[in-house]
Amino acid sequence: MTKCFVENVMVPYHKTQIELLGLQTHQIMVWMLDYWNVHNSQDFLNRIKQKYLNILVIFVLANYTNALQPADAIL
C-alpha cells in the first residue's frame, strides 16, 4: 500500500512541483509520518532510502499527531 502511494502519488507530485517552481531536479522532499510500526521498520526505511534518494522521512512524536498532522486527526 505504501509503495503504491509513494510511486503513484508522492513521486509524481514531487516532479510536478519541481517543474512548477523551477527547482533543481534533486530537490529534497520531506515526508512526515506517524511513528507507527510499519513506518519505523528498518525494511521500510531502507527501501525508501535506497530507492528514493530525494525523500527525507521524519516522524511525528507519539501523541502529537493531532497537533502536527491535523489532516489525519480531522478528516
Percent of the chain exceeding pLDDT 90 equals 36
**Nearest residue to 51 (alpha-carbon basis) of 5, 6, 20, 1:** 6
Cell of 19: 517543474
Number of domains in the chain: 1
* pTM recorded for the entire structure: 0.72
Residue 39 has pLDDT above 80, yes or no: no
**Separation CA 35–CA 24 (nearest Å):** 30
Cell of 6: 509513494
Domain residues for the domain of 67 are: 2-74
Supply the pLDDT for residue 75.
47
**Digit-coded pLDDT (tens) for 5-18:** 889 999 999 999 99
**Digit-coded pLDDT (tens) for 20-31:** 999 999 999 998
